[in-house]
């Protein structure tokens, strides 16, 4: 949860409008749904305290990507956002010694 809050603050400072957080569907959850200009961005946030098992983004495997895509389709349909430009991002948060580091990876899918 702390990582998602850090990611939200980061996105807002960059000019993104937060539309939804922790958006649940039958197919899974999307951590953050944001808008930047006319693009809808679906953001997966991964927070870690070390990279012992790889980078946080490495945890966004094929199955997770499929769940995010399906949940995004549900959101777009329910909100009547047909034909909008969309993008899928990952925000990695690494927390060490009370400090955090952000890596925003755009267009992962």
Q: What predicted TM-score, i.e. pTM, was given to this entire model?
A: 0.92
Spatial CA neighbour of 44 closest among 20, 65, 75: 65
Query: Which residues fall within 8 angstroms of residue 21, CB to CB, at 6 or more apart?
Result: 4, 8, 31, 32, 33
The CA-atom distances, in angstroms, between 12 and each of 35, 47, 86 are 10, 18, 18
Cα of first residue to Cα of last residue in the chain, in angstroms, is 24
What tens digit of pLDDT does each residue of 15-65 get?
Answer: 999 999 999 998 889 999 999 999 999 999 999 888 787 788 888 888 888
């Amino acid at each position: 949860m702390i990582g998602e809050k850090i990611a939200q603050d980061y996105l807002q400072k960059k000019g993104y409008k937060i539309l939804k957080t922790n958006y649940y569907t039958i197919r899974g959850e999307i951590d953050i749904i944001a808008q930047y200009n006319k693009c809808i961005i679906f953001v997966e946030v991964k927070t870690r305290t070390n990279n012992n098992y790889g980078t946080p983004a490495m945890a966004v495997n094929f199955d997770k990507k499929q769940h995010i895509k399906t949940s995004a389709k549900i959101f777009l349909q329910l909100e009547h956002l047909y034909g909008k430009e969309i993008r899928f991002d990952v925000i990695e948060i690494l927390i060490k010694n009370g400090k955090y580091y952000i890596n925003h990876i755009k267009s992962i899918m």
